[in-house]
Amino acid sequence: MFGYVIANKEKLSRDELLHYRACYCGLCRALGERCSQAGRLTLTYDMTFLILLLSSLYEPESANKRGRCLLHPFRQQPYWQNPFTEYAADMNIALAYHNFRDNWQDGGSIAAYGGLLLLRKKYRELKKKYSRQCGAMEEYLEELAQYEKEGIYDLDGTAGCFGRLLAEIFVFQEDRWAPYLRKLAAGLGGFIYIMDAYEDLPQDMKKNNYNPLRPLSKTEDYEARCKEILTLFISECAAEFEKLPLVRDIGILRNIIYSGVWTKYALLQEKRK
């Protein structure tokens, strides 16, 4: 359900693109350090956005480094890290664990079961450290599972579940910015959930799987309604985003919210045409 919160790289300046990639590389290294090389397999750009957002809001000191890795064994690559890199890596691992668990329970995927075994011990550690965040993941994913089990096609309910889940992840600490971050993430989470359902619908229809967009897909204005719903959710996210006193990396962050999140949608539109 992740992979949508990315930058539109074509609209970034060269310096912005290098900085964005260095943040991504820093997250990749943090995953490897905190969960062995297997942790790197869970890497997504979505948590890169979280690092940039929290770093811009709280402005911690970042360490700029260079190093080699399996993907770049001959040339050192620049990367930077700060406390939010570590936090995002932990949230990335926790989400990956639940994704593996869901895939194993739904389809009996052997690969998912392998991932589940690899991350189980680490997730138990994270649950003790981040009881609020991991508790929210378990609660809202269970609620989503109930919608699916009972065949309830409630877009507000299902998207709202995932939005509340993401809201707890985006709140690093309970302070004056927590309400804004929760509302921002709730809108973004709703967008991600509907975007994922929109992408998966053709395959879900073939396999007769649950998809919250299934009833809506039978209407004549399905495409227009989907675009309208996605726009509504990301607009809620953007409205809260603009209330935050962000300066650092504001160009990259706005690129992601106003352009990057629509990249996959545009590709799907072209493919279907």
Tokens of 257: 């919210």
The pLDDT of residue 37 is 67
Higher-confidence position of 110 and 216: 216
Cα separation values, 3 from 7, 132, 179, 192, 267, Å: 11, 24, 25, 9, 13
Dump the DSSP string for the chain. Answer: --------GGGS-HHHHHHHHHHHHHHHHHHHHHHHHHHHTT--SHHHHHHHHHHHHH----EEEEE--SSSSSS-EEEEE-HHHHHHHHHHHHHHHHHHHHHHHHH--HHHHHHHHHHHHHHHHHHHH-HHHHHHHHHHHHHHHHHHHHT---HHHHHHHHHHHHHHHH-SSSSTTHHHHHHHHHHHHHHHHHHHHHHHHHHHHHHT---TTTTGGGSTTHHHHHHHHHHHHHHHHHHHHTTS---TTHHHHHHHHHTGGGHHHHHHHHHH-
The pLDDT of residue 171 is 98
Cα–Cα nearest to 182, from 133, 229, 230, 119: 133
The pLDDT of residue 99 is 84
The pLDDT of residue 170 is 98
Distance, CA of 208 to CA of 93 (rounded, Å): 30
The pLDDT of residue 120 is 86
Tokens of 229: 């719903």
> What's the pLDDT band for 108 if we cut at 50, 70, 90?
low
Name the pTM for this structure: 0.93
The pLDDT of residue 1 is 58
Tokens of 100: 């593996």
The pLDDT of residue 116 is 74
How much is the mean pLDDT over the chain? 92
The pLDDT of residue 117 is 78
Cα separation values, 267 from 124, 158, 206, 272, Å: 38, 25, 21, 9
For range 20-32, the mean pLDDT: 94
Determine what percent of the chain is predicted with pLDDT higher than 90: 76
The pLDDT of residue 103 is 72
Burial of 17 (0-12, 13-18, 19+ CB in 10 A): middle
Distance, CA of 45 to CA of 22 (rounded, Å): 12
Is the predicted pLDDT of residue 154 greater than 80, yes or no?
yes
For range 231-240, the mean pLDDT: 98
The pLDDT of residue 105 is 67
Residues in the chain: 273
Tokens of 196: 């994922």
